[in-house]
Amino acid sequence: MKSLVAGSVASGALAPKGLSGQESTGPRPNFLFMIADDLTFRGIRTLYDQEVSTPSLDRLVRSGCAFTHCFQQGSWTPAVCIASRMMLLTGLTTFRAEPATPSPACDFTPLWGQTLRATGYHTYIAGKWHLDPTMLQRCFEEMGPIGLGMFESTPDAYHRPTPGNSWTPWDEKLKGHWLDTKTWQNSPHDEIHHSCRIWADCAVDHLLHRVPRLNQPFFMYIGFNEPHDPRQAPKEFVDMFPHDKIAIPPNYLPQFPFDNGFLRGRDEQLAPFPRTREAVQLHRSEYYAIIAYMDSQIGRILDALERSGKADNTYVIFTADHGLAVGQHGLMGKQSLFDHSIRIPWIIRGPGVPQGKKVDELVYQHSTFATTCDLANIPIPKSVEFPSLADLITGQVSPRHDAVFSRYQNYQRAVRTPDYKLIVYPQVKKVELFDMNKDPWEITNLAANPALKTVKEQLMQRLRTFQHELDDKLNLDHPAKQRPVES
């Protein structure tokens, strides 16, 4: 079926403007896009967390521009990655992306990779996709191995720590991220490699052997399954983070105080109830280890880009689909609207990008589609609802959003400004209000504070305005009249 973007954009018709806003006579820029799975915004050492080790991502931050308040707009499914990636690939806001996943209606929606491909880009993917396979084929003309939505390990990888459980992250016999190269890389050698290494091997090979022969700009999409559980990594990386030395987060709780709609879902089964400090330390240490290993493989990809001779005209973008609690607020997963779950990294490096710049404005990760079109001077499809961030990178314009919205199924709604966050749990008639400047770990609920009554009312009104703008049909006052989505 013919797509709208293919019919509306002629291949190679426009020269790129880049970040200067001036039309360029040179070749169009390349894009190397890397996306992690479950990486919270605090998962990069140079930006936030001094426990984790991320020298490669730190290097990217120093050489580029980091958006410190980047969010994803929520999910209609417990697999938050599906919703987040659907918004990324279509540019549709959450309630319009939902019915297109998957749907024949999506056949008429211009997709990100498809848009670049239709204008002359060579498009390539390796790693996690987790969306409709027909969308994959429309976006990419060349593919490496495509990862599963998630890798399952043996049952004892979960519910830890428990007595007698000897599961270890580095044991290659325990499957999960440890993959057979004969199956995944068509290798003649019978070896076991980590999925992260396999995706990086494909990226390095493509950059060094395929890209130099191209007579067209390239778009590479590398989807890491890391640091999603099972959180496996080589032993030397696990040894970097002895679990008894790991700090307990300030917002640690043995259990979440009320029903948020997903207290017994799959992600919350990863550690015993109630959460002990020992369990939180164990899971966070393995979380850091797999992040560090992913970072080492990202370093290999960045080095290969330099060796390819294409780095000077390539925008490197790194982000994640969503964050993760890993012991915060008594939670283990991402099915909540605290910053640890909806706030993610977004870093860009490339021609015209200021080095070491940090942007604190509220943005959505799903603006990536429009941003790359802007950078390449490609018309942004009219269906794309998230605005470009291109001029924010150079600080040329005012903030994009006065507030951002997020949702989790019909159980949770949130509105976040630079100063406050309001979370509404309509099914159980609970409200939380946090001062994000004084309380960035979202510990003290101020919803009953009379001094903030006006703030609470204003945020509730902003939330209702968001609902109207985004076609959110949930009645916050009478949610029982609408059937909640089952977890």
pLDDT per position as a tens digit, 43-90: 999 998 789 999 999 999 999 999 999 999 999 999 999 999 999 999
Same domain, 378 and 249: yes
The domain boundary, picked from 376, 401, 426, lies at: 401
Tell me which residue range forms the domain holding 257: 27-401
Same domain, 362 and 472: no
Helix (H) or strand (E) holding 348: strand 343-349
Residue 368 falls within a domain, yes or no? Answer: yes
Using CA of residue 326, residue 328, residue 332, residue 337, what is the dihedral sign?
negative
Same domain, 295 and 227: yes
Same domain, 237 and 346: yes
Q: Which two tokens stand for residue 328?
A: 């915060």
Query: Per-residue pLDDT for the chain (487 aa), expressed as one digit of tens each?
Result: 222 222 222 223 334 456 755 555 578 999 999 999 999 999 999 998 789 999 999 999 999 999 999 999 999 999 999 999 999 999 999 999 998 666 655 678 999 999 999 999 999 999 999 888 999 999 999 999 998 888 988 778 878 888 888 899 999 998 999 999 988 887 777 899 999 999 999 999 999 999 999 999 999 999 999 999 999 999 999 999 999 999 999 999 999 999 999 998 999 999 999 999 999 999 999 999 999 999 999 999 999 999 999 999 999 999 999 999 999 999 999 999 999 999 999 999 999 999 999 999 999 999 999 999 999 999 999 999 999 999 999 887 778 899 999 999 999 999 999 999 999 999 999 999 999 999 999 999 999 999 999 999 999 999 999 999 999 999 999 887 654 444 4
Same domain, 69 and 151: yes
Residue 69 falls within a domain, yes or no? Answer: yes
Residue 406 near residue 70 (C-beta atoms within 8 A):
no
339 vs 250: CA distance, rounded Å: 14
Same domain, 453 and 343: no
Same domain, 332 and 433: no
The domain boundary, picked from 401, 421, 447, lies at: 401
Write out pLDDT tens, residues 426-481. 999 999 999 999 999 999 999 999 999 999 999 999 999 999 999 999 999 988 76
Residue 212 falls within a domain, yes or no? Answer: yes
Q: State how many domains the chain has.
A: 2
Same domain, 427 and 375: no
Using CA of residue 277, residue 280, residue 281, residue 282, what is the dihedral sign?
positive
Same domain, 429 and 368: no
Domain of 339, CATH number, reads 3.40.720.10
The domain boundary, picked from 401, 423, 457, lies at: 401
Same domain, 113 and 260: yes
Cβ burial of 180 (10 Å; 0-12, 13-18, 19+) is middle
Same domain, 396 and 428: no
